[in-house]
A and B are shown apart, each in its own frame.
Chain A
Amino acid sequence: MSSSTNDVNVSYLDYKGKHSGLLGWILSVDHKRIGILYLISMMVFFTVGVTFGFLMRLELIAPGRTIVDPQTYNSFFTLHGIIMIFLFIIPGLPAVFGNFFLPIMIGAADVAFPRLNLLSWWLFIIGGLLAIISVFLPGGAPDTGWTFYIPYSVRTTTNVIPALIAAFILGFSSILTGLNFVVTVHRLRAPGMTFFKMPLFIWSLYSTAWIQVLATPIIGITLLLVVAERTLSVGIFDPALGGDPVLFQHLFWIYSHPAVYIMILPAMGVVSEIIPVFSQRTIFGYKFIAFSSLAIAFLGSLVWAHHMFTAGMSGVAMIVFSVLTFLVSIPSAIKVFNWVSTLYKGSILTDPPLLFALGFIFLFSIGGFTGLIQGALSVNLHIHDTSFIVAHFHYVMFGGTGFGIFAAMHYWWPKMFGRMYNKVVAKTGFWVLFVGFNLLYFPMFVMGWLGMPRRYYDYLPEFQIYHMLSTVGSWILITGLLIMFINLFNALKNGKKVTEENIWNGETLEWSTPTPPFLFNFKEAPTVESGPYEYKRNEVSETEVKEEKV
């Protein structure tokens, strides 16, 4: 392949390499194209996940059988969980926007290991397809819930093994992405880009990458052990042979709790990018936000057993895990306070990205506070395994990370594709989504508190009003999603062309690349002199104002 100076200075979308057409995408080692590949595949899986969620809610609109039988319902919530967690939320920000923007924001041409990057996408696709195939194989769709709890996951006759192997492969893909990002941040920063000049999104991706590398192997081996248990009955987790099912729960949550920080940290990074840009102010407490990401990554690795307060543990262990759970809320709160302080006295532009970021702060705060409620031992025993937990989880993961992903889409879409979406429609979509979201999940707090167990197919008539509200909320939410996505995808074809480099007046490096970025990102390799959020123009104008007054 020849590469003269001319043919690489084209948009990465138009570049013609060794392969053309579809192959030019699925065999590309360009981090931007891989980011887009992830975006497309993730959107497909998200659509499937939403469909399962929608059907589940529809079934629950009235007590007793409404549309499906109990076994099918069990498969619905299992697949909804597996798909949303392993195929949407975990890869959502790091693999899509991390891949696309991490190298650009540190001034690099690509990630450290581009071929490994492509391999991790292929593994992602293989794992995702395996998860989908497990639905259709003879034996029936998996019905264990996404947690694969022993001993049921050993006893059930459904296709648990394909689902376990799918999750294992997806974990491997996630490890490779994390490894790639850690090395990229260490080795490929542009001259002058010290750690404390890195954008906060990079800090959050860096922390996330470490969790991906350190926690994922544990779930890998745990899932393999369940496969071994099912195929060979080795006895490690099977109580009939002397194994301990609670040990499985420990190993499962040693990964799966840090995993929720894999999900939320990058979203916090996105919010840290958007808030200063749309209030045109330097971020408040840069180092505190940066270090709180690391603190969350560290403390988040030590709280796993709060998922198991009813599973049988010593009193001391329970108190320790409860205290650690409270501690992890401190760095999260630091971030929220810093964001709000950044907004204070800023010149706020209420463009769609900011709306989604504010939605994140609001919903994440509700999710975070209810998390504290669950972290308290006495209350936890009361609300354990109720829909209160479901509501909390969705406020944090969907209201938090989900809205973070939507915010990132609206923030970076024009840069990625060189097209602008309709802002009025985007704002409308946000409000519909916001209303639908709260109507869908808030009633779950209430009925959970009153004793509605989660994952149940049937319920007492007194809960029907909450279920009804929740199901109606799901319809509004899906309408909001449709408005948002149709608007975004319509923009690709009919949106206004964007050619200017810096449409939001951001100060980070991605806004000094051509729109859409060139094949190797920059026209000339950048050198960094100032921090990422130094709004000099405003400061200058403020001093000018003062001088005028004098």
Chain B
Amino acid sequence: MSTTSSAPGVETHIHRDDEGSRLGMWLFLFTELLLFGGMFLVYAVYKFTHAEEFHLAAKELNTLFGALNTIILLTSSLTMVLAIVAIKRGQKYLSLFFQLMTLAMALGFLVNKYFEWMAKISHGIYPGSEQLLEKSNGEILFFGLYYVMTGLHGLHIVIGMAVIAYMTWFTWKDKINQDQYVRLESAGLYWHLVDIIWIFLFPLFYLIS
């Protein structure tokens, strides 16, 4: 599509509007919050009805793993911000470096998560397992929610990585540059959302023991 205006004052279909793009991204983040909001609601209900058993089940989770992942994710948010600041100043390679750092930490988070899940599964704690079904209803619900919520969050990490990788490619090709960086900003917003959801997941699953 050509971006030159074709008739006086009439824009072509695709036009540049950074303010509009930001507004759209914020609305999208809102829908993501509501998506997780539905799950937090379910969590709240069952935490209320099965408080004791949730407490008991949370002891099975490894707080060290969780804390480590929290630190990794928070730091990756920082590098994301730095990547945006760098591109605003026209420092392309610095921005690329920080974007790759962000990607590396996201990968680190997933690796960590993988070992954590595998440890649980090898102990026979996963949805529908015999060992889990022997436990009380509250514990079954806790682990059901644990796998679904951290799983969905993990999926968001993967999507976030794909988006950031795409942005890195754009930065490399100079499609994202000092004048046009709204896409990188939007990707950053998405990454912060993934981060903030984890900040709520961490205490709800690891710290209530």
- Is there a chain B Cβ closer than 8 Å to A241's Cβ? yes
Pick the contact of A113: B8, B24, B147, B148 (CB < 8 A): B24
Seen from chain A, the residues whose Cβ lies within 8 Å of a Cβ on chain B are 1-5, 8-9, 29-31, 109-110, 112-116, 175, 179-180, 182-183, 186-188, 213-214, 216-218, 220-222, 224-225, 228, 232-236, 241-244, 247, 251, 520-525
B160-205 at interface with A (beta carbon < 8 Å): none
Closest to A229 in B: B144
The reply to whether A251 and B12 contact each other, CB–CB distance below 8 Å, is no
- Is there a chain A Cβ closer than 8 Å to B64's Cβ? no
> Given A109-B12, A113-B24, A524-B7: A187 and B34 within 8 A (CB)?
no
* Shortest Cβ distance from residue B169 to the other chain A in the assembled complex, whole angstroms: 18
Q: How far is the CA of A254 from the CA of B71 in the complex (A)?
A: 35
Q: How far is the CA of A423 from the CA of B54 in the complex (A)?
A: 67
B127-164 at interface with A (beta carbon < 8 Å): 127-128, 133, 136-138, 140-141, 144-145, 147-148, 152
The reply to whether A217 and B32 contact each other, CB–CB distance below 8 Å, is yes
Could you write out 15 A-B pairs with CB less than 8 Å apart? A5-B7, A109-B15, A112-B17, A113-B20, A175-B31, A179-B31, A183-B24, A213-B27, A218-B35, A224-B152, A232-B144, A234-B127, A234-B148, A235-B144, A242-B140
Measured between beta carbons, the chain B residues less than 8 angstroms from A243 are: 141, 144
Identify the 9 closest CB pairs spanning chains A and B, nearest first: A242-B137, A234-B144, A525-B9, A217-B34, A221-B38, A187-B20, A217-B35, A232-B127, A3-B2
The reply to whether B20 and A214 contact each other, CB–CB distance below 8 Å, is no
Q: How far is the CA of A243 from the CA of B133 in the complex (A)?
A: 13
Number of A-B residue pairs at CB separation under 8 A: 147
The reply to whether A29 and B13 contact each other, CB–CB distance below 8 Å, is yes
- Is there a chain A Cβ closer than 8 Å to B65's Cβ? no
Pick the contact of A221: B13, B39, B127, B144 (CB < 8 A): B39
The reply to whether B37 and A213 contact each other, CB–CB distance below 8 Å, is no
Seen from chain B, the residues whose Cβ lies within 8 Å of a Cβ on chain A are 1-2, 4, 6-15, 17, 19-20, 23-24, 27-28, 30-32, 34-39, 41-42, 45-46, 50, 127-128, 133, 136-138, 140-141, 144-145, 147-148, 152
The reply to whether B8 and A220 contact each other, CB–CB distance below 8 Å, is no
Measured between beta carbons, the chain A residues less than 8 angstroms from B38 are: 217-218, 220-222, 225, 251
The reply to whether A187 and B23 contact each other, CB–CB distance below 8 Å, is yes
Closest to B50 in A: A242
The reply to whether B13 and A233 contact each other, CB–CB distance below 8 Å, is no
**Which has the most chain A C-beta neighbours within 10 Å: B15, B35, B136, B138?**
B35
The reply to whether B148 and A228 contact each other, CB–CB distance below 8 Å, is yes
